[in-house]
Amino acid sequence: MIRVQTVDFNPADELEQLRSVNNGKAGAMVSFTGLVRDLNEGDNITQLTLEHYPGMTEKALAKIETQANAQWELTATLIIHRVGPLQPNDNIVLVVAASMHRKQAFAACEFMIDTLKTSAPFWKKESLQNSDRWLAPG
């Protein structure tokens, strides 16, 4: 399942939700949560704004999920990404992979967030005390 949204999400609730539908099938669930940092390259961040390409973003995320499910034996996957203005320590992204096998859950979760970072159309703009800057891929 994929979701792109401006509102916050609760990684805890999302994991509990996945667990409740899991019903004993998967033995391993790996999650990645990306959070807004308060400091980047030595500067205090006051706000982080996420821009995306509506339509293409959802397709890119769905493709990432499909690739992960083709490559590993997964019982569930989830990608949630926020857009719009965010504050330090806010959730940005949640990626979850559930599997019968722990190695596969780790590999799939890491693949999904790595691929998201290089291929899904999102852009980050940091607001500092007196200026803004667009981030370059890190």
Are 51 and 83 within 8 A, CB to CB?
yes
Provide the 8-state DSSP code for 24.
Answer: T
Backbone phi and psi for residue 107, each to the nearest 5 degrees, phi listed first: -60, -45
Residue 73 near residue 99, CB atoms below 8 Å: yes
Binding mask of the shown chain, residues 52 to 91, with x at each position contacting a copy of itself by CB under 8 A = ------------------------------------xx-x
Q: Is position 119 an interface residue for other proteins (rule: CB under 8 A)? A: yes
Q: How far is the CB of 117 from a copy of itself (least distance, A)?
A: 8
Give the footprint of other proteins on this chain (CB under 8 A).
34, 50-53, 55-56, 59, 81, 92-93, 102, 113, 116-125, 134-138
